[in-house]
């Protein structure tokens, strides 16, 4: 059976993995009542266990408590007399959420994109078993006492980066109304309150469209200037843009004319962290369109985003929600 560890509780961590050492070969000589000086019959050692990663759709996060830990597979068993091969050790399987990138921390090489349930990566090889003494027999050396030790398993440090699989990301400045829109479109239940940084983690939600089409929306925490270089709560969450096909840029219409600059700044942080996001289509939404300052905000957004007409949306009145759903459905 395979050893199994289930990873839960974070978005990025580094661990050390080590394949098991192969079993030693054995020195043995065949012996029976009428032939007490038979030839060498020591068996070879078994292979050390591999360390594998497997994607599991039922897992959501990676564990901060395992950062820096060593996960080592078992060693192979030594050979036995009668040329019996030592047993190979079982693989050690670490289960990770679907959407996890696996990087070699030493070389920054992407080892695998664990993008499908059940996808498996052999991340560290177990060592080969050592040879028993029959391998060292020669015509002039018929009683060899040499053998090989098993080889050590591969050891490496890997970085696991979980990226939530989603079709569309909702981005914008803090308290712009992304959570309310996500709730209205998908039924997801992010915290909603009238203060900044209510959302502290990416929040996914699934929207069901006509023809049983399903679209996964992902709300990212509010983005402040400097988020792409480490400032604000959005700093660690921009990585989730790597999988999305489109953005919904949510501006806060209650800010009036200032809504345009705040929305531009948030979009710039998304592009700064993940440059290819600049090629993604986006829908510009003016949330809280029932606010008295909304007309001023809409005019400022049209000037700031030339060629992109903002969609006025109010969760309170329902304005614009149906049109937003239709636009998302055409992505």
pLDDT in tens, the chain (331 residues): 344 443 334 578 999 999 999 999 999 998 877 766 678 999 999 999 999 999 998 988 887 777 889 999 999 999 999 999 999 999 999 999 988 999 999 998 999 999 899 999 999 999 999 999 999 999 999 899 999 999 999 999 999 988 888 899 999 988 888 989 998 998 766 544 444 444 446 788 888 887 768 888 988 887 766 544 444 444 456 777 888 899 999 999 999 999 999 999 989 888 887 777 788 899 999 999 999 999 999 999 999 999 899 999 999 999 999 999 999 988 8
CATH code matching the domain that covers 3-162, chosen among 2.40.440.10, 2.70.210.12, 3.40.50.10860, 3.20.20.70: 2.70.210.12
Query: CA triplet 180, 242, 161: central angle to 5 degrees?
Result: 100
| Rounded Cα distance, 54 and 308, in Å | 42
Contact 36, 90 (CB under 8 A): no
Which residue in this structure is represented by tokens 């981005």?
171
Task: Break the chain into its structural domains and give their ranges.
Answer: 3-162, 168-329
Contact 129, 22 (CB under 8 A): yes
Q: Which CATH class is domain 168-329?
A: alpha beta
| Rounded Cα distance, 89 and 328, in Å | 50
Closest to 54 (Cα-Cα) out of 104, 7, 107: 7
């Amino acid at each position: 059976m395979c050893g199994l560890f289930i990873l839960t509780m974070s978005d990025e961590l580094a661990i050390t993995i080590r394949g098991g050492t192969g079993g030693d070969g054995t020195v043995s000589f065949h012996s029976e009542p009428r032939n007490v000086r038979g030839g060498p019959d020591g068996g070879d050692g078994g292979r050390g266990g591999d360390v594998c990663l497997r994607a599991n759709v039922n897992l959501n996060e990676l564990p901060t408590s395992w950062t820096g830990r060593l996960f080592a597979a078992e060693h192979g068993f030594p050979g036995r007399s009668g040329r019996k091969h030592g047993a190979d050790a079982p693989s050690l399987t670490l289960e990770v959420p679907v959407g996890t990138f696996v990087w070699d921390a030493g070389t920054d090489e992407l080892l695998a994109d664990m993008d499908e349930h059940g996808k498996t990566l052999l991340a560290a090889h177990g060592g080969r078993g050592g040879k028993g003494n029959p391998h060292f027999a020669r015509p002039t050396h018929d009683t060899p006492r040499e053998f090989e030790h098993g080889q050590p398993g591969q050891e490496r440090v890997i970085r696991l980066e979980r990226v939530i699989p989603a079709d569309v990301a909702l981005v914008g400045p803090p308290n712009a109304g992304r959570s309310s829109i996500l709730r209205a479109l998908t039924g997801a239940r992010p915290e909603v309150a009238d203060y900044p940084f209510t959302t502290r983690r990416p929040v996914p939600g699934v929207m069901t469209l006509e023809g049983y089409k399903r679209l996964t929306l992902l709300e990212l925490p509010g983005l402040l200037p400097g988020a792409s270089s480490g400032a604000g709560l959005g700093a660690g969450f921009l990585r989730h843009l790597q999988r999305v096909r489109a953005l919904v840029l949510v501006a806060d219409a209650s800010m009036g004319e200032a809504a345009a600059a705040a929305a531009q700044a948030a979009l710039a942080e998304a592009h700064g962290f993940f440059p290819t996001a600049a090629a993604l289509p986006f829908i510009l939404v003016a949330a809280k369109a029932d606010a008295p300052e909304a007309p001023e905000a809409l005019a400022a957004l049209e000037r700031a985003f030339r060629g992109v007409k903002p969609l006025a949306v109010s969760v309170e009145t329902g304005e614009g929600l149906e049109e937003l759903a239709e636009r998302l459905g055409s992505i």
